[in-house]
């Protein structure tokens, strides 16, 4: 299936026929650079060492560059488990050197695939995943340059473009992986099947954001898309073979179906507590099924794409300093015990996650926990927000609802990550995401407030 964009999107096409870039034109370029590691590279996503061996499908750094009146903004999404601040800072410097886009106009996020290379976090996680061994160091050293190359190529491909957007829906694909059980204070984490009296601890976000940039081809076929959905990419299930997980299938299908030359970029939304484990039927959908279901949701929404009036990108960002979590003496003692045994015994994900987090908190008590929030707006109707961790879906839904923009796309794990960020209500319910959260209760709400301030400023004119 090859789609045409609505006819309202055509004016840029006529400008381009002249072959001259007109002042004031809104332009978009997109590119992808392969970031698949060599065999033997330490992988991320789980609390154990996995050296990569073989490739199911490649990993990319995918970039969209938007430009008008000489002002550029870039959105980069990596097929990686997240982003770490040193890589983001190095990549931004490299982008500035290589193609002149200011570093703070670059958003860098990760899809959160669990079958891609690990990045150093400056905690015990680095020992567990062996990220600082030569293959890991070689991969991380090369990454900023590859990101910059992707931005450079996208900028070199800028063409006059129209923008259009629609919000699709994918129901029954994603699940809130925290469940409340009768008579139990602690949430159950990732149950395989619900008991009759169980209920999900929170909602999901079924929205599939679809932003399409139409180019200057004879049929105005799309040049790029930005797709947004909130769900953990864990469907490959670990292992040592490289995969972009469902975002790889999803973006490939959207491009195949709607414009073979189109670069489709997937940004993961607030999926801290959302995964694909279907505890209603007990079924686990495959990577292919998940990507196909999301591409089908895009197909269903595509005819309702509405043109956006575009302007020069407005890029705003702020650094928010958050409080670190509190650690009691008993928690510290328990964490030390777990750490002393974790390299030789299989203690389970939750105790290991908690111990790693507590040891990091004790180590870094005097280091501020600073996190960036960024907004990129290029239309009165749509903005992209970056958030710096694995954000609970309730916070994403609240942000979208309060946003002054009709469409708000959220890219989590962006511009560095501070780990899980639960909403206030989740804290007393404990379990995996809460015990491994490095920030204090209320941090997520503060990030949402910061994002809303930036969104309101961007909506008024930046
Ligand atoms: Zn996660």
Rounded distance between C-alpha atoms, residue 401 and residue 448, angstroms: 11
CA of 271 to the centre of ligand 1 (A): 8
The reply to whether 215 falls in a domain is yes
Task: Check whether residue 13 and residue 132 sit in a common domain.
Answer: yes
State which residues have CB under 5 angstroms from ligand 1, the bound ion.
390
Task: Check whether residue 301 and residue 337 sit in a common domain.
Answer: no
Task: Check whether residue 97 and residue 32 sit in a common domain.
Answer: yes
pLDDT beyond 80 at 348: yes
List pLDDT tens digits, range 398-452. 999 999 999 999 999 999 999 999 999 999 999 999 999 999 999 999 999 999 9
CA of 377 to the centre of ligand 1 (A): 27
The reply to whether 394 falls in a domain is no
The pLDDT score that the predictor gives to residue 10 is 38
Task: Check whether residue 280 and residue 356 sit in a common domain.
Answer: no
Q: Total structural domains in the chain?
A: 2
Domain that holds residue 353: 329-363
Task: Check whether residue 216 and residue 359 sit in a common domain.
Answer: no
CA of 267 to the centre of ligand 1 (A): 14
Task: Check whether residue 166 and residue 26 sit in a common domain.
Answer: yes
| Chain position carrying tokens 């050296």 | 51
CA of 233 to the centre of ligand 1 (A): 8
The reply to whether 395 falls in a domain is no
Task: Check whether residue 271 and residue 352 sit in a common domain.
Answer: no
Q: Residue 456 half-sphere exposure, CB side, CA atoms within 13 Å? A: 9
Q: Residue 448 half-sphere exposure, CB side, CA atoms within 13 Å? A: 22
List pLDDT tens digits, range 115-141. 999 999 999 999 999 999 999 999 999
CB-based contacts of 6, cutoff 8 Å, min separation 6: 164, 305, 306, 307
The reply to whether 27 falls in a domain is yes
CA of 112 to the centre of ligand 1 (A): 7
Task: Check whether residue 266 and residue 351 sit in a common domain.
Answer: no
Quick one: tokens of 233? Answer: 């990419």
The reply to whether 321 falls in a domain is no
Task: Check whether residue 120 and residue 267 sit in a common domain.
Answer: yes
Task: Determine the 3-state secondary structure of 153 from DSSP.
Answer: helix
CA of 48 to the centre of ligand 1 (A): 15
390-391 and 420-421: which strand pairing? Answer: parallel
Q: How confident is the model at residue 17 (pLDDT cuts 50, 70, 90)?
A: very low
The reply to whether 446 falls in a domain is no
CA of 94 to the centre of ligand 1 (A): 28
Task: Check whether residue 228 and residue 194 sit in a common domain.
Answer: yes
Task: Check whether residue 236 and residue 342 sit in a common domain.
Answer: no
User: pTM score > 0.75 for this model?
Assistant: yes
Task: Check whether residue 341 and residue 255 sit in a common domain.
Answer: no
List pLDDT tens digits, range 31-57. 999 999 999 999 998 889 999 999 999
């Amino acid at each position: 299936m090859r789609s045409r964009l609505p006819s309202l999107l055509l004016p840029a096409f006529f400008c381009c026929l002249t072959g001259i870039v007109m002042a004031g034109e809104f332009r978009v370029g997109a590119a992808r650079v392969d970031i698949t590691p060599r065999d033997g590279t330490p992988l991320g996503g789980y609390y154990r060492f996995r050296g990569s061996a073989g490739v199911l499908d490649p990993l990319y750094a995918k970039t969209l560059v938007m430009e008008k009146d000489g002002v550029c903004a870039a959105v980069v999404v990596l097929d990686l488990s997240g982003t770490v601040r040193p890589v983001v800072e190095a990549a931004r410097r490299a982008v500035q050197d290589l193609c002149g886009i200011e570093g703070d106009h670059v958003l860098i996020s990760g899809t959160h695939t669990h079958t891609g290379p690990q990045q150093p976090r400056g905690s015990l996680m680095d020992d567990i995943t062996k990220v600082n061994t030569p293959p890991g160091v070689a991969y991380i050293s090369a990454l900023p340059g590859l990101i910059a190359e992707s931005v450079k190529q996208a900028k070199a491909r800028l063409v006059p473009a129209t923008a259009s957007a629609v919000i699709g829906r994918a129901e029954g694909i994603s699940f809130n992986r925290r469940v409340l059980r009768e008579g139990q204070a602690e949430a159950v984490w990732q149950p395989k099947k619900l008991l009759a009296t169980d209920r999900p601890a929170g909602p999901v976000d079924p929205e599939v954001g679809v932003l399409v940039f139409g180019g200057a081809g004879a049929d105005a076929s799309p040049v790029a898309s930005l797709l947004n959905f909130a769900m953990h990419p864990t469907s490959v299930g670990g292992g040592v073979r490289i995969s972009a997980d469902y975002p790889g299938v999803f973006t490939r299908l959207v491009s195949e179906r709607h414009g073979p030359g189109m670069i489709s970029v997937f940004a993961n939304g607030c999926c801290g507590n959302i995964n694909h484990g279907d505890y209603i039927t007990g079924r686990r959908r495959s990577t292919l099924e998940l990507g196909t279901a999301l591409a089908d949701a895009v197909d269903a929404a595509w005819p309702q794409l509405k043109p956006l009036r575009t302007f020069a990108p407005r890029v705003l960002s702020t650094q928010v300093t958050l409080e670190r979590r509190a650690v009691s003496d008993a928690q510290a003692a328990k964490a030390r015990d777990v750490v002393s045994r974790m390299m030789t015994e299989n203690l389970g994900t939750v105790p290991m996650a908690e111990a790693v987090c507590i040891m990091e908190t004790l180590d870094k008590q005097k280091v501020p926990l600073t996190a960036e929030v960024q907004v990129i707006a290029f239309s009165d109707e749509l903005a992209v927000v970056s958030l710096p961790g694995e954000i609970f879906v309730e916070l994403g839904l609240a942000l979208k609802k309060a946003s002054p923009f009709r469409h708000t796309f959220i890219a989590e794990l962006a511009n560095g990550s501070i780990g899980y960020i639960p909403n206030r209500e989740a804290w007393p319910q404990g379990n995996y995401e809460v015990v491994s959260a490095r920030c204090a209760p209320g941090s997520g709400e503060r990030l949402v407030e910061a994002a809303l301030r930036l969104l309101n400023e961007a909506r008024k004119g930046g």
